[in-house]
Structures are given as C-alpha cells and as structure tokens.
Structure 1
C-alpha cells in the first residue's frame, strides 16, 4: 500500500471511530459513567478498586504493608501452605471489582471477560511458561445449562488468547452439582466440593509433567480451587498456579470462614 493510501485508511478509521464514539459513547465497565478509553473504568472506580500490588506474599499474592524482601511468604502461607504453588489476583473482592465479577457472572455481561482477563494477565504475568496449560474451574452441566455459560471458562479463554498459552477447557469436570458455596463456613465448603471434581479420562495424557494455571473469577476460602488442584497433582501435574480476577480479603472474612489454602 502506498503512503498516501495508508494515511487515507488511517484517517478513514479515525473518522469511523469518532462517529461511533458519538453514537455509542465509551462507558465505564463498572458504573457506566462516560470514559475516554474503550474497555476501561472511570477515575472514581479506579480509585475505589482495591488493586493488589507488590510487595506481596509469594505464595498467596496478598499484599504486605512494607517490603520484606523478594520471595517472602506471609503468615497465612507459612501457617498453612496451599497445595498450589502461587495465587495471583487483580483485586480484593470489593467495590468496583466485586461489581465486575457479579456483572459477568449473573448479569451475563460476557463482554467483560476480555478487559478482566487483560488485568489478570498483568497481575499473573510471572505464572505463564512456554509449556503452561490454562484450565478453568468447571461448572456442573446442569448449572451451565441454566446459566448458559461458564464465567471462569470465558476468562480462561481470554487469558490464553492474550498470552498465547495452551488452553484445555474440558480437562477438569465437575461430577456433582454441589450446594452454592455462598454462606457456607470454610469447613462446609471443603466438604461440599471434596469429591466434586475429576479429570476427563480421554485427556489424562496431557497432565503428567505439565505446569497448569487454574483460572476462576473469584476465590473465597480456596476450597474449590484446592479440590481442582488436588485432581491435577494426583494425575501427575508438575505444578499448579491459580489466577483469579478477585480475592476475598482473608483479613475481612468472618473468623469461621477463613481457610484460604
């Protein structure tokens, strides 16, 4: 294409974009206020989002109030090391971050998966290896039939696409329709999902010696991801990391619900 043709095409795209912006102004993903960028949040929502930033616990990704050195573990990880290697999340499950999770999950705003995954990739960039496989936490087929999609799978697919990492959406299966985890104590959550997951026998050959990144929308006590991690490690996975959009702050949970690993 000639330089003149290239400039004309660029101007045409700019003009088309300007027209669309006038007809369909950009909106904050959380509160619907007008914003200046596509797939972004407004300044107010940005300030109110409890983003997780370094320095943080190497295992659980929870922030430290001051830098204690690279690779440090927090008290919770030391007291009860999780089965997974590392956990990374974009934000605590509060404010606009909570609103985004609920909008994706219950309002079926599936277009949110792409920008949410972009933030997840940023937060979990150290988790991705050349031979990694990304797997979502699965839904039981009856719940998926009712909801019509799995929000964890939408996020995992976008994370895989944005990182160029392998994606295996059908490796993990949920064998039974468990009770909703909301409102259950940590112990009840563990019992609720103890035998809920298994691996697809036709895909077991993809597991031994591989590194996995398990993706979900929000982590509360960790009982669900722990059950999934146990399945992968039991089948020979070399290691499993966990990547979620949001993490319930373990310091604000009721004492009966604290059981992150």
Structure 2
C-alpha cells in the first residue's frame, strides 16, 4: 500500500499536467486562456461588477456613503420589510455578471458554480453564523427535470464546503409549479410565490432552533427568498439569512 501511494502522487501530477496541456484553463466569461481553472481573464474581470463597500444589510445592494455602525437598508427593503435578518450578494446583475448567471442558469454551465460559490463565500463573511444550515432555493421537479440540475443547490454546496458548514439540498420543496417571473411586477411575484414552498416533512427535524443561510442565484424582488424564509421560520428556524450570487438593481 505504501508503494502504491508513493507512485500515485507523481502519476496524478503527470496526469493533471497532461490534462492541462490538452485542455488548458479558459476564462469562464469569454473562453480566453487563463492561468488557472475556473477564473476570469483581466478583461472579463473588469466587466464583472463585484459588490463591495457599504451595502444594504437586508439584501446586499451597494449603497452610497459611509457606514456609521448602525443597520442600514435600501429603499426597497424599507418599503417591503424582509422575513429574514441579513442578506448579501456577490455581484450586481449587470454586464458580465448577468452573462455568467444566465450561463449557469440556462446555458448548461454548472462549472460556473465553483468560482461563483467562492465569490459568494467572501461576500457572506460578515453574516455567517456558527452552526448555520446552508439551504438552496428549490426548483419544481418539472423544471429540474428539464434543466438537469438546480443551480442554487450547486452554489449552496460550494458555499457550505468553503465555510465548513452543513447543507441540505432538499430541505425546501416547491410543491406548486409557478410561471416564469422575469417580467412580472413585484406584487405579482409575491402573490405567485405565496404558499408555493414548504419544508420537506422528512427534513423538518433539522430546523428547530437552528440558523439558516438561504442560497439563490439572483435576487430581484425577493419574493422567492421571502417564501423560503417564511417556510423555514414556520418550521422553527432560529434565524434566516440570505446569500445570492447576484442582486438586481431595481429602478426607484
């Protein structure tokens, strides 16, 4: 066994070198050659609006000005109070970030999730709670069948692995199929998602008294995350926070 292990290490290194030679690392955004796998070239990096600085404590939307140590919220979150405690997002849903989200969501590009989860983990550092359970927003089974994977579940798994936290991919269940909501108003979104998501009865024992970190790819109005947060709280979650890959900057 010792000889086998000693031989396997150089073999793996040689194999990885061969793979890199045949399939060199390429930019997630444009496909240009880059130094390492799952990265962005300098041009795509400049075109990707990462969120930093002062942000809304409820949704992660970037804000102007400087913080004063007190909780601050954007106009949208003040107008419609959220059923969760804190929220963060890694990117603004614009430019190259929008293209990456759409590639992950509709372009059969699950490979995007690896880097995306790393960006999300960095954005989430101020809101991570000890012992929190990482939970993805669910897809209806018909949509999951067509898409073959739940992008939120891929992101949740990556975020949990980085932070050393537990995650449960099927804690939430979308038992009623809802229409696509890209062009719906905020009120229509909330009405459509109302009572469409619930905690899986076989997973309900995981929630009482425990913090939850909800994961989704994009937050627009917050209707889907609200439905998920309410379901978790109704099942006994101690507190719910949310983390998304991207946040849509809504018009005032």
TM-score, scaled to structure 2: 0.90
Looking at structure 2, the residues matched to 153 and 95 of structure 1 have their Cα atoms a distance apart, in angstroms, of 24
Using the alignment, how far apart are the partners of 2:156 and 2:233 within structure 1?
19
Q: How does 1:158-197 map to 2 (within 5 A)?
A: 158-197=158-197
Alpha-carbon contact 1:28-1:34 (below 8 Å) kept: yes
Residue number in structure 1 paired with 2:133:
133
CA RMSD of the aligned region, Å?
2.2
- Quick check: 2:89–2:123 contact (8 Å CA) kept in 1? yes
Contact 1:93 1:247 in 2 (8 A): yes
Shift of 1:220: 0.9
Higher mean Cα deviation, 214-223 or 99-108? Answer: 99-108
Give the 5 Å matches for 1:1-261. 17-76=16-75, 77-250=77-250, 253=251
Alignment gaps of 5+ in structure 1: 1-5, 256-261
Could you tell me how far apart the structure 2 residues matched to 1:104 and 1:52 are? 19
Distance 1:128 1:136 in 2: 15
**Equivalent position of 1:259 in the other structure:** none
C-alpha separation in 1, matches of 2:23 and 2:139: 34
Q: Alpha carbons of 1:14 and 1:207: their partners in 2 closer, same or farther (altered >3 Å)? A: closer
Does the CA contact (< 8 Å) of 2:56 and 2:73 recur in 1? yes
Structure 2 portions without partners, runs of 5+: 1-5
Q: Deviations over 1:50-83 (max 9, x none)?
A: 1110222222222222213234313423443311
Output the CA distance in 1 between the equivalents of 2:135 and 2:10. 41
Say which is worse superposed, 90-99 or 120-129, in terms of deviation.
Answer: 120-129
Equivalenced residue count is: 247
Contact 2:57 2:88 in 1 (8 A): no
Q: Give the C-alpha shift of residue 122 in structure 1.
A: 0.7
| Structure 1 residue 16: Cα displacement | 5.3
